[in-house]
Amino acid sequence: MTENRAGTAATKAAEVTPDDNSTETMVSLGDGWEDDNGGSRRPEGGRRPENGAARGVVTAFGQTMKTLRLRAGLDRAEFGSRIGYSASTVASFEQGRRIPTPKAIDCADQELNADGLLRLWKKEVERAQYPVFFQGMAALEREAAELLSYSMPVLNGLLQTEEYMRVLLAMRRPPLDEETIEQRVASRLARQDIFDLRPPPFLNFVLDESILRRLYGGKAALRRQLEHLLLIGQKPNVCIQIMPFDREDNAGVNGPFTVVTRKDGKKFVYAEARGIGSLQTEPEQGVMAAALYAIIRSQALSPRESLEFIEGVLGSL
């Protein structure tokens, strides 16, 4: 890849939100997530909860915030001005219709002298933006020491531009309503905070060549997505590799999957197919998936060759 180019571009079954492919063992990634041994840009008004259980969490948080606000003698307008939101948005938070950002929760806790009471809700409220089946995976991404992803026929959500997200969501059948699309775009963008975590996790993505050539959204949209890949590929903790069409062997023929290794060393395998997400927690499955991924990586182009390959595709558009 040329230096000047590098500088300028670089279980509960439910409808898939993050990436648009299943394994044998399916577990709930909702309320029971922590007991796994036994079994950014966000809209000003926050995000909407995706399911009934999530709405319950958000509603309970909102009622708690309202109680503290009234105890402090503040109306919604005054309280909203202190935390940077309108009175109507504060009402949406209190009624459980919108999900406040972590920053909003921190500000509210401070302004209401809650002594950490509202902050206790932060993780639960934040994961309520995802469908139940993906809440655990979203949390796992934030705890990852290593994430390995093989993608086809679409990009992993962690690599998607906002434009690419909207194009994919608009192609869903039956069609999604506009509000749902906005919610899912916001949640995918929130996941991309993984690139800013400290210490940074090691992230490796193997992409089938077909992803680079599908004109989802048109040539201009694809150009911007490829430029985005080049930029991400410059990060020291990120490797992007391409599995080209001319490979006679591809160990990834069974489809896309992701292996996440948590900081405690435990491995999880996640896959999606036809709008169903599944996750395997058995140690044997994690080891086997990681070994399979190592074979796939060895068959793909090297990271340097891959960035040059992406440049070549970009130049041909």
Local structure of residue 158 (DSSP, 8 states)? G
pLDDT tens track, the chain, 317 positions: 443 443 433 333 333 344 544 333 333 333 233 333 333 333 344 555 555 556 788 889 999 999 999 999 999 999 999 999 999 989 989 988 788 888 889 999 999 999 999 999 888 887 777 766 677 788 889 899 999 999 999 999 999 999 999 999 999 999 988 877 877 887 888 889 899 899 999 999 999 999 999 999 999 999 999 999 999 999 999 999 999 999 999 999 999 999 999 999 999 999 987 767 788 899 999 999 999 999 999 999 999 999 999 999 999 99
- Which contiguous run of DSSP H or E holds residue 138? helix 132-142
Nearest to 147 by CA among 195, 207, 203: 203
Question: How many Cβ atoms sit within 10 Å of the Cβ of residue 220?
Answer: 11
Surface-to-core class of residue 245, CB atoms within 10 Å of its CB (0-12 exposed, 13-18 middle, 19+ buried): exposed
DSSP bridge pairs for 149: 205, 258
Q: 81 CB contacts (<8 Å, ≥6 apart)?
A: none
pTM comes to: 0.71
Nearest to 106 by CA among 136, 74, 83: 83
Question: What is the C-alpha to C-alpha distance for residues 130 and 183, in angstroms, rounded to an integer?
Answer: 9
Local structure of residue 206 (DSSP, 8 states)? E
Q: Count the alpha carbons within 13 Å of 186 in the hemisphere toward its beta carbon.
A: 25
Question: What is the C-alpha to C-alpha distance for residues 293 and 299, in angstroms, rounded to an integer?
Answer: 10
The radius of gyration computed from the CA coordinates of the chain, to the nearest angstrom, equals: 21
Question: What is the C-alpha to C-alpha distance for residues 199 and 40, in angstroms, rounded to an integer?
Answer: 18
- Which phi and psi angles does 17 have, rounded to 5°? -110, -50
What b/e readout covers 15-31, taking b as 16+ CB neighbours within 10 angstroms?
Answer: bbbbbbbbbeebbebbe
Q: Give residue 277's pLDDT.
A: 77
**Would you say 316 and 218 are in contact if contact means Cβ atoms under 8 Å apart?**
no
